[in-house]
Amino acid sequence: MFFHVKELQYRAKPDRPDPVYAKKLQEVLGGQYGEISVMMQYLFQGWNCRAEQKYRDMLLDIGTEEIAHVEMLATMIAQLLDKAPVEEQEQAAQDPVIKSIMGGMNPQHAIVNGLGASPNDSAGYPWNARYTIASGNLLADFRANLNAESQGRLQVVRLYEMTDDAGVRDMLSFLIARDTMHQNQWAAAIAELQEKEGLVVPSTFNKEYEKQDVAHQFINCSQGDESKSGRWANGPSMDGQGQFTYVENPEPAGQAPKLNPAPGYIHGTPANPQQ
């Protein structure tokens, strides 16, 4: 059961209207690595969790916090659109000097959303549930979560650099700090699970079914051999189960397949057409 507390997690107000920046801010709301994505990802991972209760509780804690971040961003976008009607933007865009600046407003913010935010990215593409991952394997999921927070923090930092509005930067600085915590959180949870399960997902797969001779080979599949100096090509493997080796000139492995001619009803090209 969820309850809405009628207060933002962090209160911030922009210095001035900026409909163009409101469009940019949509990316970290409804983009692939936006707050809607992590909100849905963490909540479904939590609701589906069959592991220890502490993991379910942690997932629902952070998933619920992400709802608050969605609310904060939607509120900021609405504030950036406040007192910035389309007519003013259209008039400003008539001046060629500022057309490229003021003409970048998302018209749907006014036409469709009534000067409010929408569950879309900065290009207007609708948020998609396929952005989310909830596999049931917590180690795999937490690694996806760490990636999501890394990409999200990167985008928020870039948006911070794109404005000099002190109020907007104040809110973004809070989100950046929370993304710092969330990256640390997922890294800690990953480390805990790796101590119990090992590095490779899934840990339950029978290694007898795995072709061990290639399990720790780094295969050179491009021109040049600069990659052989990396940690991934030399020394003990990260899972502690073998030694990294570098294969400079890989040879094909396994059988050489040969496809049989298609049956007549397929009407394909005959293997030996008549002359």
Does residue 7 fall inside a structural domain? no
Q: How many domains does the chain have?
A: 2
**Cα 181 to Cα 38: distance, rounded to the nearest angstrom:** 14
Q: Is the pLDDT of residue 204 over 60?
A: yes
Residue 255 lies in a domain: no
pLDDT at 199: 94
What pLDDT digit, counting tens, does each position of 108-152 carry? 898 899 899 999 999 999 999 999 999 999 999 999 999 999 999
Q: Do 130 and 193 belong together in one domain?
A: yes
Residue range 165-181, pLDDT digits in tens: 999 999 999 999 999 99
In a domain, 267, yes or no: no
pTM, to two decimals: 0.87
Do both 128 and 230 map to the same domain?
Answer: no
- Per residue in 19-41, pLDDT tens? 999 999 999 999 999 999 999 99
* Mean pLDDT rounded to a whole number for the chain: 91
What distance in Å separates the CA atoms of residue 82 and residue 113, rounded to the nearest whole number? 12
Are residues 192 and 121 located together in one domain of the fold? yes
> Is residue 98 over pLDDT 60?
no
For tokens 């942690």, what's the residue? Answer: 58
With respect to residue 259, please indicate whether it lies within any of the assigned structural domains.
Answer: no
Please say if the pLDDT value at position 92 is more than 90. no
39 and 135 part of one domain? yes
Q: Sign of the CA dihedral 158, 160, 162, 168?
A: positive
- The verdict on 60 and 100 lying in the same domain is yes
